[in-house]
Amino acid sequence: MADRAPRILLVDDEQPIQTLLSFPLQRDGYEVVQAADGPEALERFDEQVFDLVVLDVMLPRMDGLEVCRRLRAKGETVPIIMLTAKSEEIDKVLGLELGADDYITKPFSMREFRSRVKAALRRSGMARPDTDDERPIEVRGLKIDPGKRTVSRNGDSVSTTYVEFEILAALARSPGRVFTRDMLLARVWGDSAYRDPRTIDVHIRHLREKIEADPKEPEYLFTVRGVGYRFRDEDA
């Protein structure tokens, strides 16, 4: 990463919310760029490099879910945190389906918000990685390169979000080991607080769709019923 403050695109149509969220982020040393609706968010994103997008679901002109979808359709892998005032499970799951990395349901505490932001920036590379975990992993045609943050299968590149990559890498570094959902949440986000363990299920399903020849008969990512998930043993 460049030697600069992390840059965050904060998208919300309510100015009081913009002010409320911008202040603690700026106090923590982040650069905050604001946008009030979907089209403006996409315009701001095209103008600068961002390390994180905080995106409200309910926006005028184009909602946050569509903004998320468009960013991912362009191949953008920047972490996205969705803000939603709705409690229905469908909103959270749909955001994850479209490529969001995390979501926060309003109302939320500033402590929770700052924790989520710090975790997202940490996993996106604003913090230095552990060099012991930088060695490429290759299993039956699947190659995971933590240093380059790339995934390929039989030589073909596989696009993953930050969260998908972190989950896959965590499992692949310990082949055969069973991880509970809470363990994976802690590995990826630093803790499992405030998060629904079922979030992991959505990301695992996305990964299977991307790396498995047949997601219903996985070769790499296995479900351990009632417990969690494991990566294929290299000798299996």
The arithmetic mean of pLDDT across residues 197-220, rounded, is 93
pLDDT of 86 strictly over 70: no
The 3-state DSSP class for residue 166 equals helix
Tokens of 29: 């040393």
Task: Note the pLDDT of residue 192.
Answer: 59
Q: What is the pLDDT of residues 138-157, one digit of tens each?
A: 999 999 998 888 999 999 99
Percent pLDDT > 70 in the chain is: 87
Residue 145's DSSP bridge partners are: 150
> For 83, left (φ over 0), alpha (ψ -120 to 50), or beta?
beta
Q: pLDDT band at 74, cuts 50/70/90?
A: confident
Q: What is the pLDDT of residues 35-72, one digit of tens each?
A: 999 999 999 999 999 999 999 999 999 999 999 999 98
- Helix (H) / strand (E) element for 168: namely helix 162-172
Sorted by where each starts, the structural domains of the chain and their CATH numbers stand as 7-126 (3.40.50.2300), 131-231 (1.10.10.10)
Task: Note the pLDDT of residue 19.
Answer: 92
pLDDT of 132 strictly over 70: no
Give one DSSP letter per residue of 71-120, joined into a string. HHHTT----EEEEES---HHHHHHHHHTT-SEEEESS--HHHHHHHHHHH
pLDDT of 129 strictly over 60: no
Q: Phi, psi at residue 193, to the nearest 5°?
A: -65, 145
> What amino acid occupies position 65?
L
- Widest distance between CA atoms in the chain: 56
pLDDT of 176 strictly over 90: yes
The arithmetic mean of pLDDT across residues 154-182, rounded, is 91
Task: Note the pLDDT of residue 134.
Answer: 72
Distance CA 37, CA 9 (A): 12
Task: Note the pLDDT of residue 130.
Answer: 46
From the list 80, 112, 84, 71, the residue with the least C-alpha distance to 194 is 112
